[in-house]
């Protein structure tokens, strides 16, 4: 065991490649404690890195609660309430409502629109031979998808992106900018809820408002919380997944060619890319009682960072985990969308957006180079964030 081991998920040195540190943690420090020098709420937290422990903790909401939030050292009372940060029974009631309206049919119907939008966004960049896969492409696709699902004006999408970056893309989720953005979002969503109460549409918000579960009343705050949740949960995750996948495919041209040669590989490739990239690297829980694991006792009330990204690279589950391999067996087992009662409700939407975005890109540009020196990473947890992902390719002009 190395006494000098150090891992800080908020330190930039780990943003590009946290996986060697995860490997050491899984082997030598499966219950790793970290102090927070200038803490706000908790003076320290713990990290779980082995796949078996990650899986067990995510399935054990009674001992690993979400009720104090899922962001490290963050005062949850400053953030609008939503089911991410709830335990049963309210969590399950709200989840049932959303699950009923986010149907497979509604998701499938989005495909032509996402594909059209992706092609249109890409078209203006093809003649230049360069593209910032984050700013010019990946950031735009989830905002458009949300506008479609919630029937919001596309002209507001810059606003949605700004709010998302201000609340989610830094190390301080309750910074003055984040709190201002939460305030603006809250006012925006409450306005939308008031409007949809008067004019019912076929969008998700109208359906949530007019849900048919007798006896389950929803306050306007809770409906505004749904909007905020959908927005928060879908934007940062999906855009960073698409951009990180562009990097992964750029660095692994053999796997990229497999996809262009055989499109039937796409479903398996999306799962392997989800495992390999793990856009959500870590979210927190708080212990509700003392929990002893591998001889270490985590006291009741402490925060625990669950490292989904480490579970996805655990060599006891995945052979050669650092290799991107679209022929990998058992690829369906991964923690990219979480596990347990909070498992991602938007996984089908996310899979669709990721596939369409990558497929449209590879159809137009089967060969490209990632400009490694231009990559800008801004975060590891909760999301493996990218601020810039430049790629170059042979310019494409249309006759
Ligand atoms: C690549 C994109 C995405 C990734 C990697 C992702 C990942 C996750 C993960 C790991 C969780 C579990 C949170 C926890 O354990 O506390 C989660 C929850 C959730 N996701 Fe996603 N997500 C993605 C896209 C989306 C989209 C597009 C939507 C909506 C359309 C969505 C809606 C949700 C919701 C509502 C929850 C909360 C479920 C609950 O608390 O019961 N996600 N997501």
The string of pLDDT tens digits covering residues 375-390 is 999 999 999 999 999 9
Is residue 331 within 8 A of residue 288, CB to CB? The reply is no
Q: Mean pLDDT over residues 354-367, rounded?
A: 97
Q: Is the CB of 382 under 6 A from ligand 1?
A: no
Q: Is the CB of 282 under 6 A from ligand 1?
A: no
Q: What confidence score (pLDDT) does residue 376 get?
A: 98
Q: Is the CB of 106 under 6 A from ligand 1?
A: no
At residue 133 the predicted structure's pLDDT band, cuts being 50, 70 and 90, is very high
Question: Which is nearest to 34 in space by CA: 74, 6, 69, 65?
Answer: 6
Protein residue with its CA nearest to atom 22 in ligand 1? 344
- Give the CATH fold of the 12-392 domain: Cytochrome p450 (1.10.630)
Protein residue with its CA nearest to atom 38 in ligand 1? 342
Whether pLDDT at 50 is above 90: yes
Q: What confidence score (pLDDT) does residue 53 get?
A: 98
The string of pLDDT tens digits covering residues 237-255 is 999 999 999 999 999 999 9
Residue 41 is given by DSSP the state S
Q: Cite the DSSP H helix spans in 83-133.
A: 90-101, 104-109, 111-123
Is residue 105 within 8 A of residue 367, CB to CB? The reply is no
Which of 237, 243, 308, 349 best tests ligand 1's pocket when mutated (most atoms within 8 Å of CB)?
A: 237
Q: Mean pLDDT over residues 34-41, rounded?
A: 94
Q: CA torsion sign, 327 to 330 to 336 to 342? A: positive
Q: Which helix (H) or strand (E) holds 141?
A: helix 140-150
Q: What confidence score (pLDDT) does residue 213 get?
A: 60
Q: Is the CB of 205 under 6 A from ligand 1?
A: no
| Cα end-to-end span (Å), the chain | 63
Whether pLDDT at 342 is above 90: yes
Whether pLDDT at 341 is above 90: yes
Cβ–Cβ contacts within 10 Å for residue 158, how many?
A: 12
Compute the distance from residue 295 Cα to the ligand 1 centre, in Å.
32
Q: Is the CB of 229 under 6 A from ligand 1?
A: yes
Is residue 324 within 8 A of residue 244, CB to CB? The reply is no
**Per mean pLDDT, which range of 98-112, 167-181, 245-259 is the poorest?**
167-181
What integer best gives the mean pLDDT of the chain? 93
Q: Mean pLDDT over residues 342-348, rounded?
A: 96
Q: Mean pLDDT over residues 135-154, rounded?
A: 93
Whether pLDDT at 214 is above 60: no
**Ligand 1 atom with least separation from CA of 102:** 30
Whether pLDDT at 39 is above 90: yes
Protein residue with its CA nearest to atom 32 in ligand 1? 346
**Per mean pLDDT, which range of 10-14, 182-186, 210-214, 395-399 is the poorest?**
210-214
Please give the model's pTM, rounded to 2 decimal places. 0.96
Peptide bond into 5 cis (omega under 30): no
CA distances from 60 to 53, 69, 162 (A): 10, 16, 35
Q: What confidence score (pLDDT) does residue 247 get?
A: 98
Whether pLDDT at 399 is above 60: no
Which of 344, 351, 358, 386 best tests ligand 1's pocket when mutated (most atoms within 8 Å of CB)?
A: 344
Protein residue with its CA nearest to atom 3 in ligand 1? 237
Whether pLDDT at 330 is above 80: no
Q: Is the CB of 360 under 6 A from ligand 1?
A: no
């Amino acid at each position: 065991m190395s006494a000098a081991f150090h891992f800080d998920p908020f330190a930039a040195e780990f943003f590009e490649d946290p996986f060697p540190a995860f490997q050491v943690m899984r082997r030598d420090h499966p219950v790793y404690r970290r102090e927070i020098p200038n803490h706000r709420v908790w003076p320290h937290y713990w990290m779980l890195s082995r796949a078996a422990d990650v899986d067990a903790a995510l399935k054990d909401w009674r001992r690993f609660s979400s009720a104090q939030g899922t962001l490290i050292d963050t005062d949850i009372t400053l953030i609008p309430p939503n089911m991410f940060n709830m335990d049963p029974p309210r969590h399950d009631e709200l989840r049932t409502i959303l699950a009923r309206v986010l149907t497979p049919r509604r998701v499938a119907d989005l495909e032509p629109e996402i594909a059209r939008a992706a092609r249109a966004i890409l078209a203006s960049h093809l003649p230049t031979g360069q593209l910032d896969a984050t700013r010019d492409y990946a950031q735009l696709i989830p905002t458009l998808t949300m506008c479609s699902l919630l029937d919001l004006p596309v002209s507001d999408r810059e606003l949605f992106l700004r709010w998302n970056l201000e609340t989610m893309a830094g190390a301080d989720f309750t910074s003055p900018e984040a709190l201002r953005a939460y305030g603006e979002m809250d006012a925006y969503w409450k306005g939308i809820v008031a409007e949809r109460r008067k004019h019912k549409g076929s969008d998700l918000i109208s359906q949530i408002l007019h849900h048919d579960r007798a006896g389950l009343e929803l306050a306007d705050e809770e409906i505004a919380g749904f909007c905020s949740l959908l927005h928060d949960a879908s934007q940062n995750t999906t855009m960073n997944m698409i951009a990180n996948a562009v990097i992964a495919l750029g660095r692994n041209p053999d796997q990229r060619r497999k996809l262009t040669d055989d499109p039937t590989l796409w479903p398996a490739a999306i799962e392997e890319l989800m495992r390999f990239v793990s856009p959500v690297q870590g979210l927190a829980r708080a212990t509700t009682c003392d929990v002893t694991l591998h001889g270490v006792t985590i006291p009741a009330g402490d925060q625990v960072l669950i490292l989904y990204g480490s579970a996805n690279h655990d060599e006891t589950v995945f052979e050669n985990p650092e290799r991107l391999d679209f022929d990998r067996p058992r690829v369906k087992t991964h923690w990219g969308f979480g596990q347990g009662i909070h498992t991602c409700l938007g996984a089908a939407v996310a899979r669709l957006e990721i596939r369409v975005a990558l497929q449209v890109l590879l159809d137009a540009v089967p060969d490209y180079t990632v400009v490694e020196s231009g990559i800008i990473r801004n975060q590891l947890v909760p999301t493996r964030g990218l601020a810039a992902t430049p790629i170059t390719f042979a310019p494409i002009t249309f006759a």
